[in-house]
Amino acid sequence: MLGLGYIGLPTAAVFADRGLDVIGVDVNADVIGKVNRGTPHFGEPNLDALLRRVVENGKLRATATPEPADAFLIAVPTPFRDGHKADISYVEAAAEAIAPVLAAGNLVILESTSPVGTTERMAAILAAARPDLRFPAGHGELSDIRIAHCPERVLPGRILDEVVNNDRVIGGLTRKCAQQAMALYKIVVAGDCHLTTARTAEMAKLSENAFRDVNIAFANELSVICDRLGIDVWDMIRLANLHPRVGILRPGPGVGGHCIAVDPWFIVESAPEDAVLIRAARERNDGMPARVVDKVRQRVATMAHRPVIACLGLAYKADVDDLRESPAVDVVVRLVAADLGEILVVEPHVSALPPTLDDLGLTLTDFDAALGRADVVLLLVDHRVFAKVGREQLRDKAVIDTRGIW
């Protein structure tokens, strides 16, 4: 397993738990050390116990350098660079790293969410590095190396369940490539495996996340319109969703995480003239943090003294500790820049602030202490612990609930 992150580590552990010998490869020495001590480097329900078990059993170990194996799974980041252009350099580096140890009969699977054509690009890198082996592009079903794209589809917070129970889309560079990849996944996957081409699998994965992004953008747009018209958007959506063919998602302060806020741009990059709706949805969702700050500005404008503003939640969504691409972090940064009051930040799921906020002189505040001092309570993440707040604790405070939980 190349890449021991949010996807690679749980996936490696699940394969190891089925009795396979798994070698995890990562470029980060801290990650390697932690994994070899049986400790995950991020929070995910039930991963602790599973990882400890497979490491103690000797079924999973981590190292910095790839070793010979029957199958190579690549689960490395595919972020974007400036201008929302896909950065597939980690995939390319992973391909370069495994090329020396590849042997005839090996299977190489790309799990990272990738722009259409990346699996072919990865195969080309391997082929260039190993002219002694036959690859699908030149030799079709006679290739020595089988190559497929099997995009991960797991929901953070439910990874260990979904990695087993979700259906999988497996796109081979040839039919045999897909079949051999399916044989591997069938060891752990209880869901159905659907075989297709690598390009279709790439596009299917991007479409899944773009679908969700567009639907969240629709909900967010409704919230902006309802604010203008003086309508309670939560009540309106609840009523609209009583229709048997309507299922509007939840508005919020924006879309975060390293998937839904990123992947739709890969579609836009591939077809800029045609991806009109997908681009508009991205822009709508990216525009939400600024709107939240505008709301705070309106509320504090009438206050007699400089207010204390408690920002509840920094994670990109409820009940996770992941702050990557989090709209809540974006809101806090903008609030500091807007200088609207004293900012307190509360995030019960982390023990330290990310450098972006640390550098602004902010410190983590205890939930009760922040509630006690706040004039404005800005709810940014619908963590379960925040939902339990009693009405009397919020009395006499200006409350801005961007998630509709109170």
Residue 256 structure tokens: 């975060």
Least distance in angstroms from the C-beta of 255 to ligand SAJ: 4
The answer to whether 162 touches 136, Cβ cutoff 8 Å, is: no
Residue 380 structure tokens: 């940014």
Phi, psi dihedral angles at 346 (to 5 degrees): -125, 125
The answer to whether 50 touches 160, Cβ cutoff 8 Å, is: yes
Spatial neighbors of 63 by CB under 8 A, at least 6 apart, are 23, 24, 25, 32
Q: Return the residues of window 287-316 that contact ligand SAJ according to CB under 6 A.
A: 316
| Annotated active-site residue in 259, 295, 311, 388 | 259
Q: Is 177 a catalytic residue?
A: no
Strand, helix or coil for residue 377: strand
When binding is defined by CB under 6 A, the residue of 144, 208, 321, 401 that contacts ligand SAJ is 208
Phi, psi dihedral angles at 373 (to 5 degrees): -90, -20
Phi, psi dihedral angles at 142 (to 5 degrees): -90, 10
When binding is defined by CB under 6 A, the residue of 121, 212, 279, 324 that contacts ligand SAJ is 212
Least distance in angstroms from the C-beta of 216 to ligand SAJ: 5
> What order do you get walking across the sheet with 193-197 strand by strand?
71-74, 107-110, 146-149, 168-172, 193-197
String of contacts with ligand SAJ for each residue 236-265, x by CB under 6 A = -------------xx-x--xxx-xx-----
Instruction: State the DSSP string of 254-303.
Output: ---SSSTTTHHHHHHHHSTTT-HHHHHHHHHHHTHHHHHHHHHHHHHHT-
Choice between 127 and 400, CB closer to ligand SAJ? 400
Site size toward ligand SAJ, by CB under 6 A? 20
Least distance in angstroms from the C-beta of 303 to ligand SAJ: 28
String of contacts with ligand SAJ for each residue 78-117, x by CB under 6 A = -----------------------------------x----
The answer to whether 103 touches 68, Cβ cutoff 8 Å, is: yes
Choice between 236 and 249, CB closer to ligand SAJ? 249
Choice between 50 and 222, CB closer to ligand SAJ? 222
Least distance in angstroms from the C-beta of 57 to ligand SAJ: 28
Choice between 149 and 317, CB closer to ligand SAJ? 317
Choice between 197 and 209, CB closer to ligand SAJ? 209
Q: Return the residues of window 325-384 that contact ligand SAJ according to CB under 6 A.
A: none
Q: How far apart are CA 25 and CA 97, in angstroms?
A: 10
* Packing angle, helices 47-56 and 29-36, rounded to 10: 80
Least distance in angstroms from the C-beta of 291 to ligand SAJ: 13
Least distance in angstroms from the C-beta of 183 to ligand SAJ: 23
Task: Give the bridge partners for 311, in sequence order.
Answer: 345, 378
CA dist 323 → 8, 12, 133, 217, 282 (Å): 19, 23, 42, 20, 19
When binding is defined by CB under 6 A, the residue of 209, 223, 365, 402 that contacts ligand SAJ is 209
Choice between 140 and 287, CB closer to ligand SAJ? 287
Least distance in angstroms from the C-beta of 301 to ligand SAJ: 27
Q: Is 295 a catalytic residue?
A: no
Choice between 161 and 342, CB closer to ligand SAJ? 161
Distance in Å from the first CA to the final CA of the chain? 43
Least distance in angstroms from the C-beta of 73 to ligand SAJ: 15
Choice between 300 and 329, CB closer to ligand SAJ? 329
Q: Return the residues of window 147-176 that contact ligand SAJ according to CB under 6 A.
A: 152-156
Strand, helix or coil for residue 157: coil
Place of tokens 């836009």: 268
| Annotated active-site residue in 59, 150, 177, 205 | 205
- Give catalytic residues, as residue numbers: 205, 259
Interface residues toward ligand SAJ, by CB under 6 A: 113, 152-156, 208-209, 212, 216, 249-250, 252, 255-257, 259-260, 316-317
